[in-house]
Every structure is written in structure tokens, then in C-alpha cells.
Amino acid sequence: EQVLPVFKKFGIVHFLKTDARLSNNEPLENVQKMRCRVNYEGLRFTPHIEKIGKKVVSILRKKGPFLALHLRFEKDMLAFTGCTEELDKEEVKELTSMRFVIQGFFIYLLNLVFLLS
């Protein structure tokens, strides 16, 4: 009733505070499922952009070690997300070890696995 008119008028809706850590602290199951689905569908790159990105990463990997910087970087952001897509085995191993020192990570991960299963 509130969101659809905004979407129809502007063609976009911006949900505030859906990407913050607080949104990962045991939200209601239906809210978490919706959040995951919206992020999965809404944040995908177009095939053209994804192809360019994979090409850039391939070139960077061939030339040696490189650093990717997220402009809203938090010290443990990548480790906290639980994501390992597009990482090689060594990168996955390093992030996994980092996760052991993040307080509350496994509670978050268990909640996420439960909600997605």
C-alpha cells in the first residue's frame, strides 16, 4: 500500500538500513528471506558488466597479487559476509580463519543457513 505507489511513480524504491549489520541480528524469518531475495535479484550486474568485471579480475590475477578496496570498507566486512564466490582456495582459507576471530559471526552464519534451507 505504501511502497507500490512510490515504485510506480519513480520506478525505484530505496530501502534504508537493509545493508547494515543490524539487519543481520536475528531479523524475522520472512524479513530475512525477503531481504536476501531482493538483494539477489536487485543487485546483480548486467551480463555485459559481469563479463567486463571477470575480464578485469582475470588480468589482475595474471599480473600478480592485487588489492580490491570497497569504498565503505570495514575491517572485517568480507569475512563477516560469509561469501566466498569467485575466491580461490587460498583466499577462502584465509577468510575462513579470519571468521574465527569475529565475535558473533557463527551465530549470524547459523541463522542465515537455517533461513535459507
Residue range of the domain that includes 35: 21-116
- Averaged pLDDT, groups of 10, the chain, 117 residues long: 82 66 59 74 85 90 78 61 74 77 58 49
Q: Is 4 part of any domain? A: no
Give me the pLDDT at residue 82, please.
61
Q: Is 94 part of any domain? A: yes
Q: Is 64 part of any domain? A: yes
Q: Is 35 part of any domain? A: yes
What's the whole-model pTM score? 0.34
Q: Is 66 part of any domain? A: yes
Give me the pLDDT at residue 75, please.
57
Give the chain's domain count: 1
Q: Residue 112: name the closest of 36, 42, 38, 37 by CA.
A: 36
